[in-house]
Every structure is written in structure tokens, then in C-alpha cells.
Amino acid sequence: GAVVSQHPSWVICKSGTSVKIECRSLDFQATTMFWYRQFPKQSLMLMATSNEGSKATYEQGVEKDKFLINHASLTLSTLTVTSAHPEDSSFYICSANRIGAAFQETQYFGPGTRLLVL
């Protein structure tokens, strides 16, 4: 149990276009979903935290108009990178807390989405 999927797994787009990444909890309902960014050979940096039906909380330095997060249901969150530029190229990983889990703080991670902006 506690499987998180992401779609697409990789995407290449032209500069200026917008890209949507989906994060789904497949076999559980999530209290909270998180979006991280990971640069090559670096650690994960939390971008934002989202709860179903409410606005996302963004970390300092993350542009909310650039990285739009929609948390439509207890099993789906989407991250839209608007007007993508080459510097947005990165590995984006989502995670989710599991409703009813013994330890609600434990996060289960998706496989990641690699974005390359040309």
C-alpha cells in the first residue's frame, strides 16, 4: 500500500509553454500533498504544501504564480509550471501523507517527473 504515481514521468517542452504534472495517491487518501524540486546531485527542496480544497502554502522564494498548485481531491494534486524557461528544468517529486496512517507525518513519494525546457 501507499503508492503514489506521477504523470508524466518525463516531459520536454519549449520555452514559454506551460506544463502540468499530476500526482495521485493510488491506494489511499492523502491529507496533504507536497511538491519538491531536486537539482542534479542535490537534495530535495520543498516547494509547497497543499491540502484538498484549500490554497497551497509556498516556501520562501517559490513563486506561486509560476508554480500553480491545484489540489482537486484527496487523491490528486497538480503542479503547473507556467511559462516555463530553461532554468525550470529539474526533477519534480511529489509526496503525500496517508489519512488514517499510524504516523501521519510519514510521506510517501512519487517516482518523480523530469522536466526539460528547451
Partner 1 sequence: GEDVEQSLFLSVREGDSSVINCTYTDSSSTYLYWYKQEPGAGLQLLTYIFSNMDMKQDQRLTVLLNKKDKHLSLRIADTQTGDSAIYFCAEFTGTASKLTFGTGTRLQVTL
The CA angle 39-16-110, to the nearest 5 degrees, is 40
What residue type is assigned to position 104 of the chain?
Q
Residue 11 touches partner 1, criterion: CB under 8 A: no
Interface characters, 62-101, with partner 1 (x: CB under 8 A): -------------------------------x-x------
CB-CB contact of 69 with 83 (8 Å)? no
Write down the residue that cell numbers 491506494 correspond to: 27
Residue 108 touches partner 1, criterion: CB under 8 A: yes
Q: What's the rounded Cα separation, in Å, for the pair 38 and 111?
A: 12
Residue 56 touches partner 1, criterion: CB under 8 A: no
Shortest distance, position 62 Cβ to partner 1, whole Å: 13
CA-based nearest residue to 23, from 10, 33, 38: 33
Residue 49 touches partner 1, criterion: CB under 8 A: yes
Residue 54 touches partner 1, criterion: CB under 8 A: no
Q: Residues in the site for partner 1, rule: CB under 8 A?
A: 4, 6, 34, 42-44, 46, 49, 93, 95, 103, 105-112, 114
